[in-house]
Amino acid sequence: MSKRKLQRFDELTRLERVYQFPFPLVHTDHGMKGNWNKNVFKNDNPIVLEIGCGRGEYTVALSKDNPDKNFIGIDIKGARIWRGAKTANEQNILNAAFLRVHIEWLAQFFEKGEVSEIWITFPDPQPQLTRENRRLTNKKFINLYRMLLKPGGKLHLKTDNIGLFEYTLEVLTTEEGEMEVCTKDLYMDTPKGFNLSIQTTYEKIFMAEGYKINYLRFKI
């Protein structure tokens, strides 16, 4: 491991509102479960998760754009989370937090119905059929999100990968809920009130290469 990565891992342990659980738990609920508003944010505002947040660019930007909501970026890559967490600390963004944990374990950290919205921004599409179980919009994960979300909670997906987008649409056809927004060209068919200025590094790269951005919002 590089010296730079080690330095980031070390600094991550000292940043505020960063919680790290990279090793397997014994299938027991953590004390954070059901207590994020009380113990972390000190308010009763809606909680929004960014799944696979990477560098946390979306988590940070959404937090600044929506001070009336609380945002938690979730990823297992500590060296990536470091960037978003450091920015949130430097800018004193108190409604942004980060959780370093495997997505599969989220039920141990969030109470049923504790979350109001979930964002999935530019996930690895895992195009191989043998890796379908790792796609963040497969049936297993959708069931997990449904459990975490309040009734009427919303799932957002933003991706450049049309294959993953169409796969997700197919999965959601079997789910109870309402497709509120669905576009295969977000910058030509922009939903009312959508902030196009919030972009990840990957999004900027994909757009520069000519890819269209797909977006959906599904109300569960």
Q: Does pLDDT of 103 surpass 80? A: yes
Mean pLDDT for all residues in the chain? 93
Task: Tell me the pLDDT band of 80, cut-offs 50, 70 and 90.
Answer: confident
Predicted TM-score (pTM) above 0.85: yes
Chain centroid offset of residue 5 CA:
23
* Catalytic hit among 29, 124, 185, 189: 124
Task: Tell me the pLDDT band of 5, cut-offs 50, 70 and 90.
Answer: confident
Q: What is the pLDDT of residue 79?
A: 83
Task: Tell me the pLDDT band of 1, cut-offs 50, 70 and 90.
Answer: low
Q: What is the pLDDT of residue 189?
A: 97
Q: What is the pLDDT of residue 24?
A: 61
- Structural domain of residue 126, as residue ranges? 3-219
Q: What is the pLDDT of residue 58?
A: 95
Q: What is the pLDDT of residue 77?
A: 87
Q: What is the pLDDT of residue 13?
A: 79
CATH of the domain at 214: 3.40.50.150
User: Which residue(s) pair with 73 in the sheet?
Assistant: 50, 98
Q: What is the DSSP string of the chain?
A: --HHHHHHHHHHTTSTTEEE--S---S---TTTT-HIIIIISS-PPEEEEET-TT-HHHHHHHHH-TTSEEEEEES-HHHHHHHHHHHHHTT-TTEEEEES-GGGGGGTS-TT-EEEEEEES-----SGGGGGG-TTSHHHHHHHHHHEEEEEEEEEEES-HHHHHHHHHHHTTSSSEEEEEES-TTTSPPTT--TT---HHHHHHHHTTPPPEEEEEE-
What total of structural domains would you count in the chain?
1
Residue percentage of the chain with pLDDT more than 70: 97
Q: Encoding tokens for residue 62?
A: 């959404």
Contact 109, 148 (CB under 8 A): no
Active-site residue 10, yes or no?
no
pLDDT in tens, 163-204: 999 999 999 999 999 999 999 999 999 999 999 999 988 899
Rounded to 5 degrees, what angle do the CA atoms 75, 43, 58 make?
30
